[in-house]
Amino acid sequence: MAKEKVILAYSGGLDTSVIMKWLKENCDYDVIAVCCNAGQKEDFDAIEAKARKTGAIKALTVDLREEFITDYIWPTLKAGESYENYLLGTAMARPLMAKKLVEIAQQEGAFYIAHGCTGKGNDQVRFESAIHALDPAIKIIAPWRMSDWKFSSREELIQYSVDHDIPISQSTEKIYSRDENIWHISHEGGELENPWNEHYDTIHVLSVPPEMAPDKATYVEIDFEQGVPVAIDGEKMGPIELLTKLNELGSKNGIGTIDIVENRLVGMKSRGVYETPGGTILFAAHAGLEELILDRDTAHYKKIVAEKYAEILYNGLWFTPLREAICAFVDVTQENVTGTVRMKLYKGNAIVAAKKSPYSLYNEEFATFSKDEVYNQYDAEGFINLWSLPLKIRAIQKETAEGGAKHHETLERKVLKASEFVE
């Protein structure tokens, strides 16, 4: 009788390497390892070979990079989201990875998907919520939450790997938990677990520390069409090429590293160091362009929507009607977000130096402090009188209440006319 198949979300890292071996030793499953290439710098041939050596009956790598950028990163960029000052990266990739795992499970006739997320993290929610949304018949295997799983720390996983001849890059001295894709890399664990410890410069993978960046600023121009970046310095580029180029520029100039304590979905606070070099440049440029184009009410309301969008994304609710509705709203706001932004990159700072758009609502004739022929400053007087009328009425009411009946009778006979009270 053929064994049941389980699809393992496999990175080749510490957790999933141990899980591969553990599933073979403790469960009667055939394991198919699926590695998702979301732009991380890995030797995927070596990862596949490692998976087969560790016990997988099949090892696959799926290239998600372009779909990840166009269908997940660009919508998020257009929304302008930020979760507690974190541009997000891991959270954007998880729903797409889950989607591919479900597709492969359906193709392979597998009814199980396994992952290496811990019971303390957000990713377990993101993966499983997406899987449930896409195929509720699939069952989840999460070893970190199973009673048969005897490991309680990364140190124990490392020792198991040594005992079972599983090649890993982690050590007890360098124990960071990392997640990388074409948008960012995250660092957690180790000395970072104490917020009093300053993170070491050696933690940097994508960007140099700002102190090591060039002393001369770098300028780059980014063209946007309907909120989507399409060219750098006038050269049209595909999404992978464009983001890779901006990552290189951001990295060289120390752009996009943050060190924060965030509020996890599961209820605890967590410290992480995140590097997002190209993404930080794009978010600053996109926001700068929107300043020219969006009207006041839309711009202000969009900030409210962006915060909700960030929560949805962080909390693993990508495949929901609310996320789709918000994206529909955002797409309308982006119809005229077309133009060019010149960015100044200098020692960790991504600064909007100049911007232009054929749809700009900025009108120099109206905005100038010099003499103009289009604005009558006397018009402001009537506007201010009407704008502040509720405040005046409230003040009158207060005076009446405090001044007694006689004062009240006097005020009732007066009428507000041309900013004066008359009989």
Cα angle vertex 177, ends 179, 125, to 5°?
A: 65
> Of the residues 123, 129, 186, 357, which is catalytic?
123
Would you call 123 exposed, middle or buried from its count of C-beta atoms within 10 A (0-12, 13-18, 19+)?
buried
Pairing of strands 257-263, 235-236: unpaired
> Of the residues 11, 17, 129, 177, which is catalytic?
177
Q: Residue 176 in contact with residue 189, Cβ under 8 Å? A: yes
Alpha helices (H) along 80-145? 90-108, 123-134
| CA–CA dist 120, 370 (Å, integer) | 60
Q: Residue 30 in contact with residue 4, Cβ under 8 Å? A: yes
> Of the residues 15, 126, 223, 323, which is catalytic?
15
Q: Residue 102 in contact with residue 134, Cβ under 8 Å? A: yes
Identify whether 43 is a catalytic site residue. Answer: no
Other Cβ atoms less than 10 A from the Cβ of 110: the count is 23
| CA–CA dist 423, 408 (Å, integer) | 14
Q: Residue 267 in contact with residue 336, Cβ under 8 Å? A: no
Dig out the tokens for 330 from the structure.
Answer: 């955002």
What is the SS3 assignment for 224?
strand
> Of the residues 94, 126, 154, 323, which is catalytic?
94
Pick the closest to residue 239 from 74, 107, 22 (CA basis).
Answer: 74
Question: Within a 13 Å sphere around the CA of 165, how many CA atoms are in the beta-carbon half?
Answer: 3
Identify whether 71 is a catalytic site residue. Answer: no
Dig out the tokens for 267 from the structure.
Answer: 């209820």
Identify whether 65 is a catalytic site residue. Answer: no
**DSSP characters over 33-83:** EEEEESS----HHHHHHHHHHHT-SEEEEEE-HHHHIIIIIHHHHHHT--B
The catalytic residue positions are: 15, 94, 123, 177
